[in-house]
Each structure stands twice: as structure tokens, then as C-alpha cells.
Amino acid sequence: ESGMTGAKDLSEDFFKGRMLLNLDSEDEGILFIGCAGGMDTIGTMTFLREPVPSGYGAFLLSVTGLRGGHSGDEIHKGFGNSVKIMTRIISELDREFGISLSNFDGGNLRNAIPREAFATIVAGKSMADTFSEHVKDLQSMFRKEYGDIEKDLKISLAVTGLPPYVTDRTSQDNLINLLECCPHGVIAWSKEMKDLVETSTNLASVKFTGDDKITIVTTQRSSSESSKRDASAMVVSCMKPAGATITQSQGYPGWTPDLNSGILNITRNAYRKLFGKEPDIRSIHAGLECGLIYEKFKGIDMISFGPTIRGAHTPEEKIEIRTAKMFWDLLIEVINNIPPITLNNN
């Protein structure tokens, strides 16, 4: 799944048929006929280790309880980004009291909205009670900002063991400025399809690595190739002033909808027959293997559908059981109504 390398590495003679059923969708009753293309923009910073000042104590900041979710299909829902929230907390504490940063670990998967973040900070030991009260105030502030969307948001602070070093001031400032600047969320909506995100970017993760480096991973998506590249350029404009080394992946293409598709007609009729209602026909703001497959096998007729899955790419991922049977029945009905496969003669 990571990077869709399976689809990328398909040989050009792999498929003989000219119709493809992609079973990777997550909403029963929706037939997907298009998807966004995507790419990664990654920044790598170096930092200098400095000794922990004498008489200082260490504190572990935690942001937990966020919903997370898929960075394409759920990017428009306004869920909190733990990296963004932690950045604001660090910036606030530094501005008010002056702190040193030793570690920042937020997010994991490139295609998921980060739901947790942790940071180790160093400051005077006497600041424990002051920090604790300030963090409580910040939690109240963020809960008010997000309301019921992130009702389980939790921000906590605990005394922890002294780290072996802190980050040098220049690198700390560069990192926080980069993360504050870096866009996250919807950039543009589709002009053709109602309620469809056209372009977005996800600030996916921040990691301190053992070789005195900090890696910041972001992902851009768009049904427009030029807009996808422009979203990446926005991220680059935040990374460059921080002195980051930038890597942009080749990415993967989108899949342009075809409302006259033969397999769409077959699947829509099968859905009507089985369930007595119209399916929803959509394009999705997420990467599907279909985009990569279409790039290699021009003209192949494709559709994507599946059972209802919630919390994809999170520990809470689950399937709605009743839709599993609906999905299976639809799949069998579609297969039974596909005409004999026409093989390529090439």
C-alpha cells in the first residue's frame, strides 16, 4: 500500500482484459470513477547538539486524542493536526517563558492526518507549576477552537528525565517557523463536481532522527497536475528559508472521470437491480491505483467500489459488517454482467 509500488511496477503486458474493478473504496453505495494524483514533499534539516543548561529540568508535552484519518478522503473535515497543534504550543511556551527543544515526534504515515505528537522541552525546574497551568489553558483554547470535531483532544505535560542534549537555538527557530508556515488542509475545491476537493496538502509527520537530522514529511493531492505541483511549491517556500534539503517524489497521476464508461453503466444497473436505488457517482480526493494503471494501460475501463470502512489508516479502522455482504453481492452481479473479455492482440 505504501507508495502504491505494486501498481507502479506492473509490466506493460500484465493486463489482457480491458475492464478493471478496483475494490479499494471505503463507502458503500458510492461508485468512484476518478481520483486525485499525489506527490510527497519532504524536508530534511540538520541541527547542532548543545548541552542542557545547568539547573534545568525536562518536560514531556503530549497531544493525543485526535481523530486523525485519511489525508485525502477526510482532509476537508476540519480534523485537528497534532503536528500543527504541538507547534503552536511550543511557540507559545517559548514566547512566554523561553524554552529549549530536545525532541519533536509527531505523525507516522504520509497518507494520514497526524493524530498524536510528543515533544521534549527543557526549562528551569521551577517552571513546572507555571507550565502545567499554561498547558491547561491551551487545552481549553484548542478544545474551544475545534468544538465537537475533536472532543477527545488532550494536551498534557509531565516531568521527564533530562535528555542528553538540546537543539541549537537557530535550528529550533527554523523548525518552528517552518511548521507554522507550512500549509495543511484544503487549498481549492473542484469547479466541476460539487463538494469535491480539488487540491490539498497534508503536514504528515515530523521526526528527529539519530543522525542529528529532522525530517518533515508532507503530501500533496490534486485532480490537476499543475495545482498539485503548485501546492508542493507552497511547502517548498516554507522549507527553503529553514535551510532544509528538499526531496520531491515523482508522484502518481490522477484518474479522469468518464461518465460514458461501459463498466460504470454495468455497475450502476447492477446496483439498481440489487438494492432498488441509485448509487452515488463520484470522483475521490485520494490516490487510487487506478490512476497509475490508466497511465500504463491507456483506454482501460475502470470503476472503484467497496464496503463502508471508517477510520482508514488509523488504529480505529473498522468495517460496517452489513455493507460487506452488499459489496460482495454487487461484485458478483457485476462480474456476471460483464461481456466476454476482449484480449489485446499486441
Amino acid 1: pLDDT:
59
Question: How is residue 212 written as a grid cell?
Answer: 542529528
3-state secondary structure 87-127: HHHHHHHHHHHCCEEEEEEECCCCCECCCCEEEEEEEEHHH
Q: Among 277, 317, 328, 254, which residue's Cα sits nearest to residue 74?
A: 317
Give yes or no: residues 288 and 178 share one domain.
no
C-alpha cell recorded at residue 215: 525530517
* pLDDT on residue 120: 98
Question: Is 112 inside any structural domain?
Answer: yes
Question: Tell me: the pLDDT tens digits for 7-46?
Answer: 777 877 787 888 999 998 889 999 999 999 999 999 999 9
Judge whether 160 and 60 are in contact, CB under 8 Å: yes
Distance CA 346, CA 305 (A): 30
Do residue 214 and residue 278 come from a single domain? no
For residue 77, the model assigns a pLDDT of 97
How much is the pLDDT for 7? 77
pLDDT the model gives residue 340: 79
Query: Which CA distances in Å does 190 have to 145, 198, 200, 285, 302?
Result: 27, 5, 11, 10, 21
Verify that 75 and 125 share a domain, yes or no: yes
104 lies in a domain? Answer: yes
Q: How many percent of the chain have pLDDT more than 70?
A: 97
Q: Give the residues of the chain that fall short of pLDDT 70.
A: 1-3, 341-346
- Average pLDDT value for the chain: 93
CA 97 to chain centre: 33
Q: Distance between CA 108 and CA 174 in Å, rounded?
A: 22
State whether 48 and 18 are in the same domain.
no
Q: What is the number of structural domains in the chain?
A: 2
Q: Do residues 76 and 204 share a domain?
A: yes
In-domain check, residue 46: yes
178 and 157: one domain?
Answer: yes
| Angstrom distance (rounded) from CA 260 to CA 15 | 22
Q: Which domain does 327 fall in, by range?
A: 2-36+254-337
170 residue type, one letter: T
- Domain co-membership, 123 together with 261: no
Domain boundary among 248, 267, 299: 248
160 lies in the same domain as 137: yes
Please tell me the predicted confidence (pLDDT) of residue 312: 80
Task: Round to whole Å and give the CA distance between 138 and 144.
Answer: 10
